[in-house]
Protein backbone atom coordinates (compact mmCIF):
# COMPACT_ATOMS: atom_id res chain seq x y z
CA UNK A 1 0.00 0.00 0.00
CA UNK A 2 1.26 3.45 -0.80
CA UNK A 3 1.61 6.16 1.83
CA UNK A 4 -1.15 8.21 0.20
CA UNK A 5 -3.62 5.33 0.33
CA UNK A 6 -2.75 4.58 3.95
CA UNK A 7 -3.12 8.24 4.90
CA UNK A 8 -6.49 8.44 3.18
CA UNK A 9 -7.68 5.31 4.99
CA UNK A 10 -6.60 6.62 8.37
CA UNK A 11 -8.23 9.99 7.65
CA UNK A 12 -11.50 8.28 6.67
CA UNK A 13 -11.41 6.11 9.80
CA UNK A 14 -10.84 9.12 12.06
CA UNK A 15 -13.61 11.14 10.40
CA UNK A 16 -16.03 8.21 10.70
CA UNK A 17 -15.21 7.77 14.38
CA UNK A 18 -15.69 11.51 14.95
CA UNK A 19 -19.04 11.43 13.19
CA UNK A 20 -20.15 8.46 15.29
CA UNK A 21 -19.16 10.28 18.49
CA UNK A 22 -21.40 13.16 17.42
CA UNK A 23 -24.32 11.24 15.90
CA UNK A 24 -24.92 8.50 18.49
CA UNK A 25 -25.76 10.75 21.48
CA UNK A 26 -27.93 13.03 19.38
CA UNK A 27 -29.71 9.97 17.97
CA UNK A 28 -30.98 9.32 21.51
CA UNK A 29 -31.55 12.99 22.36
CA UNK A 30 -33.79 13.48 19.32
CA UNK A 31 -35.69 10.31 20.21
CA UNK A 32 -36.27 11.39 23.83
CA UNK A 33 -37.32 14.84 22.67
CA UNK A 34 -40.01 13.33 20.45
CA UNK A 35 -38.36 14.08 17.12
CA UNK A 36 -37.27 11.61 14.44
CA UNK A 37 -33.93 10.01 15.23
CA UNK A 38 -32.89 10.54 11.62
CA UNK A 39 -32.61 14.28 12.24
CA UNK A 40 -29.31 13.55 13.96
CA UNK A 41 -27.79 12.93 10.53
CA UNK A 42 -28.31 16.62 9.73
CA UNK A 43 -25.56 17.34 12.23
CA UNK A 44 -23.06 16.22 9.59
CA UNK A 45 -23.91 19.22 7.37
CA UNK A 46 -21.99 22.40 8.20
CA UNK A 47 -24.11 25.38 9.29
CA UNK A 48 -27.23 23.19 9.30
CA UNK A 49 -25.83 21.51 12.41
CA UNK A 50 -25.70 24.82 14.29
CA UNK A 51 -29.26 25.68 13.24
CA UNK A 52 -30.50 22.24 14.33
CA UNK A 53 -28.83 22.57 17.74
CA UNK A 54 -30.38 26.00 18.33
CA UNK A 55 -33.79 24.69 17.23
CA UNK A 56 -33.46 21.72 19.58
CA UNK A 57 -32.36 23.92 22.46
CA UNK A 58 -35.05 26.60 22.22
CA UNK A 59 -38.13 24.81 20.84
CA UNK A 60 -40.83 23.09 22.86
CA UNK A 61 -40.20 19.41 22.41
CA UNK A 62 -43.10 17.25 21.21
CA UNK A 63 -42.48 14.82 24.08
CA UNK A 64 -42.89 17.62 26.65
CA UNK A 65 -45.85 19.08 24.77
CA UNK A 66 -47.66 15.73 24.99
CA UNK A 67 -46.95 15.59 28.72
CA UNK A 68 -48.49 19.03 29.28
CA UNK A 69 -51.60 18.14 27.27
CA UNK A 70 -52.50 15.28 29.62
Reported as a single tens digit per residue, the pLDDT across 51-70 is: 999 999 998 888 777 666 65
pLDDT recorded at residue 10: 85
39 sits in which H/E element: none
Can you say whether residue 59 is alpha, beta or left, with left for phi > 0 and alpha for psi between -120 and 50 degrees? Answer: beta
Task: Report percent pLDDT > 70 for the chain.
Answer: 87
User: pLDDT by residue (tens digit) across 14-28?
Assistant: 989 988 998 999 999
Query: Given this model, what pLDDT does residue 67 score?
Result: 63
pTM over 0.75: no
Amino acid sequence: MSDATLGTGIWFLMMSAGAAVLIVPFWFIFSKAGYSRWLSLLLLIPLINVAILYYLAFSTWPARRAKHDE
